[in-house]
Amino acid sequence: LCRFYCDYCDTYLTHDSPSVRKTHCSGRKHKENVKDYYQKWMEEQAQSLIDKTTAAFQQGKIPPTPFSAPPPAGAMIPPPPSI
């Protein structure tokens, strides 16, 4: 018996067929688990970047006023389309 394991939900599906997988992956709980997984990953990435930046600043590798100069062309993040 070959069962499908969903890493996001930490569970085995009772049967491994395309229809069972599709039903599982379209479910509310699975979608929430996927969203939570990537949200946590993004927070970890951001914290890692903050920690690295803080360490570089403390070691004197970054000048005290990094935002005094305008950002290079193309460096701005565009606003979401709803604005």
Residue 28 vs residues 11, 25, 49, 74: alpha-carbon distances, Å: 15, 8, 32, 38
| 25/38 Cα distance (integer angstroms) | 15
pLDDT of residue 19: 94
Q: What is the DSSP string of 43-57?
A: HHHHHHHHHHHHHHH
Ordered structural domains, the chain, with CATH: 2-54 (3.30.160.60)
pTM of the shown model: 0.61
Q: What is the DSSP letter of 80?
A: P
Compute the average pLDDT of residues 2-8. 90
Tens digits of residue pLDDT in 14-73: 888 999 999 999 999 999 999 999 999 999 999 999 999 999 988 888 776 655 555 566
pLDDT of residue 82: 65
pLDDT of residue 1: 60
